Amino acid sequence: MAIIVQKFGGTSVANPEKIKAVAERVMKLHRQGNKMVVVLSAMAGETNRFVDLAKQMQKIPDPREMDVLLSSGEQVTVSLFAMAVKAAGLDCVSLLGDQVKIKTDTMHTKARIKSIDTDRMCRYLDEGKIIVVAGFQGITEDNDITTLGRGGSDTTAVALAAALKADQCEIFTDVEGVYTTDPNVCPSARKIDRITYDEMLELASLGAKVLDIRSVGFAKRYKVPLHVRSTFTDTEGTWVVEEDKSMESMLVSGVTYNKNEARITISKVPDTPGTASRIFTPISDAGIIVDMIIQNTRASHLTDMTFTVPRTDYDKAMEIVEKIAGEIGAESVTGDQQIAKISIVGVGMRNHSGIATTMFHILARENINISMISTSEIKVSCVIDEKYTELAVRALHDAFNLEKENQPEEV
């Protein structure tokens, strides 16, 4: 008797008919003897409606109250889902964030899960009940509602799967799985059958929208086999799993891009110990996540510091940085919101040199200038001018032969 966690996004539960279809799918697996835990998002469109309402009340809506508002959306879908299952004669119970005791930190609108209490869920599963959990939401120590930010329902699903030691966690979405790159940008993009947690982590953090990065992190840490698939077909999607030998033959698994970042540069910063800390502590305290950081040393103990932040946090970050720049005696602060980060990812890179060089070469051939570079064991990222994004993605996808299932050993 397997424990299966299934997560369905907003387009999968957009109206009563679709909720019933999802219930049918879940009940089928329940009838086959599986213990089912379902995580739902709000109906597609609800979150936008709430954001619109909130903005009519307050220019920058209060984060605590925003979470109270947003979390009501999942409350609607889980209760309707439970009714649909009960109407079909099976037992089902809905649980909200506070009822599962999904404890988070207090960072409203992008909280992180600290713990989950499985007692109540295990009791219900033993009683043969299907459990439907409101995704995206948690609760602080003080019983305040929090939400987990973009893709939060994925995180809820994987965290539940980890806590319940589920046999698998299926993320249902409106695409067929994880692709070698965005099919809208590159027509030869191919669905990947199997991918490692590490590759998926890099892809997710680099802009692939199909899975939230925190959910992949959870899945990796607790070794939860993750299956990303379409709500609207029975086709297998992409399995995100632990690495095995066969995967290393793939030099590059995917090409990804991210247009949601902005660049900030502080010029001529006095290069003394503690400077980086003075710059980044207040940014981090404001809940802004800094991605790439590059520091170039100049002559006479001065340095230039460049980093990227989410584009939505750009104004707030600039305000903070301009204040600090004055305090630490930096010369100037400049920024650019029209950037894109292009990345290639693959576990095969570990054992092969020259992948980064190939990437730089291809971008140069297309006359695309690189303004920042960052690398890890299994990825290379370049920041370029936003307008070259699609061109760069297609050129790299072609150069690394990603349209083919089995790539040559070397390119």
Positions at the binding site for substrate: 47, 74
98 lines the binding site for a second copy (CB under 8 A): yes
Residue 75 touches a second copy, criterion: CB under 8 A: yes
Annotated binding site: 7-10, 47, 74, 173-174, 179, 209-210
Secondary structure, 3-state, 299-325:
CCCEEEEEEEEEHHHHHHHHHHHHHHH
The Cα 298–Cα 307 span in angstroms is 17
> Which of 21, 51, 79, 318 contacts a second copy by CB under 8 A?
79
Note whether 84 binds a second copy by CB under 8 A: yes
Contacting range for a second copy; rule: CB under 8 A; set: 48-56, 122-130, 252-260, 354-362:
48-56
**Cα 216 from Cα 20, distance rounded (Å):** 28
Residue from 131, 120, 36, 38 nearest 93 by CA: 131
- Taking the complex as a whole, how short is the minimal distance between the CB of residue 141 and a second copy, in angstroms? 13
| 245 scored as a contact of a second copy (CB under 8 A) | no
Helix boundaries (H) for 111-222 = 119-126, 152-163, 197-205, 213-221
Among residue numbers 15 through 44, which ones bind a second copy (CB under 8 A)? 16, 19-20
Cβ atoms of 13 and 22 within 8 Å: the answer is yes
Any bridge partners for residue 234, and if so which?
Answer: none
Stated as kind and residue range, the H or E segment containing 359 is helix 355-365
194 binds a second copy (CB under 8 A): no
> Could you say whether residue 82 binds a second copy (CB under 8 A)?
yes
Distance CA 38, CA 48 (A): 23
Binding window for a second copy (CB under 8 A); candidates: 75-83, 122-130, 338-346, 397-405: 75-83
Strands 194-196 and 238-241: parallel
Closer residue to a second copy in complex, CB, 78/125: 78
- Residues making contact with a second copy (CB under 8 A): 16, 19-20, 50, 53-54, 56-59, 61-62, 64-66, 68-69, 71-73, 75-76, 78-84, 86-87, 93-94, 96, 98-99, 143-145
